[in-house]
Chain A
Amino acid sequence: MDVELRGITKRFGPVTANDNVNLTIRGGEVLGLLGENGAGKSTMMNILSGLYSPDAGEILIDGKPVVFEGPGDGIEAGIGMVHQHFMLVPVFTVAENVVLGVEPTGNLGYLDIKKARHDVEEISTKYGLRVPADELIENLPVGIQQRVEILKVLFREADVLILDEPTAVLTPQEVEEFFGIVRSLKEAGKAIVFITHKLHEILEISDRISVLRQGRITGEGDPKTLDEEKLAEMMVGRHVSFTVEKAPAKPGKPMLELSNLVMLDDNDDFVLDHVTFTVPSGEVVGIAGVQGNGQTELVEAITGLARIASGKIIFDGTDITHASVRERHRMGMAHIPEDRHRSGMIAKFTIAENMVLNSYYDEEYARGLSIDWKHVAETAAVFCVDFDVRTPSVFLPAGNLSGGNQQKMVVARELERETKLVVASQPTRGLDVGSIEYIHKRLIESRDEGDGVLIVSSELDEIMGLSDRILVMFEGRIVGEFDNTGGKADRNAVGLAMAGASEGAAA
């Protein structure tokens, strides 16, 4: 099945999300769709799946124009969407989730779960998507959950599969397996649209690439003739540097000193196991590690969000072991949280309100018991310009911003103060190359101004690029320390330490 989009335009108020977009999707082919956060990829795919109706332009399926009236029409026509955020019922089995909404029913309308299971197994063997049909979703790893999402659209007999940033939630091993699935779907004649902002992935899996920027198609091409740099330029509209430019660090006095931090979980097992290290002023210390080895808890202990069982935290010469979140913040500790949606911002609040989320009480903004909102708005506007947060107004809800701009807003809030220590957790997760480059630059600037910078990231590339010194965390312990001046740390050795292999040897 071939699908063609002709001259599609979609506006939301003053914003043109798609501007005269032309796109062809062919059966047996993987189309890579690349674009920054907010470039209009999702809008386009929502038009294709019938969720939005375009203001202009038409959709042709096998040459015949079609009109989608509602969300059901896309899948009816054979276009299925696999969303980035899974839409599965955690307490249902795989088979139940797959058939949900189109359940096979027997006489009197009872649910024929046996047939459901049989159908699911049939499809899963056909396309090589191995899933345990009777397992509950909540017991399955993310990679398998994603297969269930794909099975759902295959079960509804989709010939066009739209995969919206499918690899964002996967580990590197899962990504490899996932690519295998995509290839087998392609061989079965399905048309695949692969949406991402990860350049190397799109080069690896696509047969054709289209690049979207500010609602327009800005580039198309064959992955064999393209490389990451060219793609990045098409996507961002300027040359993008992949390496973080920085001078050698000039470490000064200790800014953050941790000694023997211990945190226990509910079963009295170590979450942090006698963690000791120092972050000096003027140096970037990177914490590498596979997620779930105590990094989250380490950051919570440093920033005061969680209490430690024993140990000592000294910040710029002051013992802050028992200080509150607010006290630490006031002393000049900036915290870029790991999950901006969960804790870094309030989507319903305006950008101005979010900019003072943790400093609204400060004499800078407060007048007695009131907040001086005019001053807050002006400050927020200055911050937005300074940190390139793209928005028409600071009075818009932060939830309206694209992911990259939301993160820049959070980073602006944290760095636009007198800071001494920056604790950045997954500072660029889910962002496009342009935003990543920008945030990295600002973090290095903080270092050069004399701040201590602590980066926690599960992206090894990010740790390698930013850090002057790398610490590896494994099962709540620091298991390795590497000097990375001039990027000289051995990537393999760091990777091995992350897997817990070289414990003790590297330190």
Chain B
Amino acid sequence: MSTSIGKRELNDAARDLLTRTQRGRADFEDLVVVPIFAVIAALILGALIMLATGVDLATIGKSFVALAVGSVGSLNAISETLTAAIPLVLAGLGLGLGFRAGLFNIGAEGQLLMGGTAAAIFAFSFPGLPFPLLMLLSLVAGAVVGAFYASIAGILKATTGAHEVISTIMLNLTSYQILNYLLRQPYIQKEGRADPISKSVPDAGQLPLLLDWVDPNLRLHAGLFLMLIAVAFVWWLLFRSKAGFAFRASGANPDAARYAGMKSGFVIVSAMATAGALAGLAGAAQVQGVLERASPGFSAGIGFDAIALALLGRSHPVGILFAGLLFGGLEAGGRQMQVDAGVSIDLIGIIQALIIVFIAAPLLVRAIFPWGFRKDAKGGSA
């Protein structure tokens, strides 16, 4: 019989192999320098677009000042940035996890809508439950329903091979109509309203505000902790857990995963379900922390922005956190921009899109900012 591992000793030759190779400069460039330059390039291009549409230079300057002030310039600005980042990061984590497992899940928007609605319904259905319990259980309801909704696409792929891009897009469209229908049901619809809108989440079901002791208008809520816990959890799941190893292996090389005895069906369904749970949590956090009720389109495209976010964060939990803060800042700052300088908020959408374009094209960024990169990184690592 062949020798077992336990008997062998870790001698010096083996110990040498345990030296951590230093993170190469190429990695640093890829993960840090490219995104920073991408943001700068997008802002410059945004300014040029404003110029082209007849905005004068003074206003452009004013709008960028407003962008900075509105995102990080005051306590209120920071609170708004973080509040906007919470659902983006939660949903983005789910998508990033899916990407790692080789699943291109476009369905965060639908999962988020279903999760958020479930959280609202659960919360007003049990108004008798005390504070932390109702809040937590409502979050759980959101996560469970989001997971269930996403696993429909997972099961379809695992059993019939239906491509998840198609099925999740269809499930998004389906979710809009389900929501429309549900919100008109007498049990769910707010009393005395003709439009589709749900009853309100009772106080005990809401994520408490964190800064209302400073100023009752500050909207930052306890979803912040949920977001940070989720970042840590997804990091552990992907890089430390058995399931995450199978996820990553299946994403990187499905043939090798099959050879290694990993069950592709299990990976697909469980990765989709986890992603859906996180998107559902994003919806629940939005409903329980900000909106207090579900209404049609309350997701406001968060599920789609989260795709960009996951790509920007390179499907890494920490990267997604930073990307989420950036997008949150752009959103909060964009509102200020509109107020102070009268520039359309659509410009922020353009800047976000440009950032993604530049991130997706590292060679372009290298060509625009040649001094930021080592000379002989010819061809890049892409």
Q: With A329-B261, A358-B260, A371-B245 given, is the CB distance from A419 to B10 under 8 Å?
A: no
Is B376 part of the binding interface, using a Cβ–Cβ cutoff of 8 Å? yes
Evaluate contact between A345 and B256: CB separation under 8 angstroms.
Answer: yes
Q: Residues of B contacting A342 with CB < 8 Å?
A: 253, 255-256
Evaluate contact between A417 and B260: CB separation under 8 angstroms.
Answer: no
A-B contact count (CB 8 A): 121
Is B62 part of the binding interface, using a Cβ–Cβ cutoff of 8 Å? no
Q: Residues of A contacting B243 with CB < 8 Å?
A: 369
Is A360 part of the binding interface, using a Cβ–Cβ cutoff of 8 Å? yes
Question: Which one of B1-9, B52-60, B131-139, B279-287 contacts A?
Answer: B1-9
Q: With A353-B245, A370-B241 given, is the CB distance from A381 to B17 under 8 Å?
A: yes
Q: Mark B228-247, 1 if CB is under 8 A from A, else 0.
A: 00000000100011110100
Across the interface, name the chain A residue whose C-beta is closest to B13: A385
Evaluate contact between A419 and B2: CB separation under 8 angstroms.
Answer: yes
Evaluate contact between B18 and A305: CB separation under 8 angstroms.
Answer: no
Evaluate contact between B10 and A382: CB separation under 8 angstroms.
Answer: yes
- Please tell me the number of chain B residues within 8 Å of chain A, measured between CB atoms: 38
Q: With A370-B242, A381-B14 given, is the CB distance from A416 to B2 under 8 Å?
A: yes
Is B225 part of the binding interface, using a Cβ–Cβ cutoff of 8 Å? no
Query: Quick one: which of B6, B17, B260 contacts A384, CB cutoff 8 A?
Result: B17
Evaluate contact between B376 and A53: CB separation under 8 angstroms.
Answer: yes
Is A204 part of the binding interface, using a Cβ–Cβ cutoff of 8 Å? no
Is A395 part of the binding interface, using a Cβ–Cβ cutoff of 8 Å? yes
Is A378 part of the binding interface, using a Cβ–Cβ cutoff of 8 Å? yes
Main secondary structure of the interface of A (DSSP, over half): loop
Question: Which one of B19-27, B302-310, B318-326 contacts A?
Answer: B19-27
Is B119 part of the binding interface, using a Cβ–Cβ cutoff of 8 Å? no
Main secondary structure of the interface of B (DSSP, over half): loop
Evaluate contact between B259 and A417: CB separation under 8 angstroms.
Answer: no
Q: How far, in angstroms, from A449 to B240 measured CA to CA in the complex?
A: 35
Across the interface, name the chain B residue whose C-beta is closest to A377: B18
Q: How far, in angstroms, from A451 to B3 measured CA to CA in the complex?
A: 12
Evaluate contact between B252 and A305: CB separation under 8 angstroms.
Answer: no
Q: How far, in angstroms, from A392 to B376 measured CA to CA in the complex?
A: 23
Evaluate contact between A419 and B1: CB separation under 8 angstroms.
Answer: yes
Taking the closest CB of chain A, its distance from the CB of B48, in whole angstroms, is: 30
Evaluate contact between B20 and A382: CB separation under 8 angstroms.
Answer: no
Within B66-95, which residues are at the interface with A (CB < 8 Å)? none
Q: With A364-B5, A395-B21 given, is the CB distance from A371 to B242 under 8 Å?
A: yes
Q: How far, in angstroms, from A446 to B1 measured CA to CA in the complex?
A: 7
Q: How far, in angstroms, from A342 to B256 measured CA to CA in the complex?
A: 7
A interface with B by C-beta (< 8 Å): 13, 53, 70, 304-305, 324-326, 329, 335, 337, 342-349, 353, 357-358, 360-361, 364, 366, 369-371, 373, 377-382, 384-386, 391-396, 415-420, 446, 449-451
| 11 A-B pairs in the complex with CB atoms less than 8 angstroms apart | A53-B376, A305-B259, A342-B255, A346-B249, A358-B259, A358-B260, A369-B242, A381-B17, A382-B14, A384-B14, A451-B1
11 further A-B contacts with Cβ under 8 Å, apart from A344-B256, A348-B252, A366-B242, are A357-B260, A358-B260, A369-B242, A378-B10, A381-B18, A382-B8, A382-B10, A384-B14, A392-B17, A392-B21, A393-B19
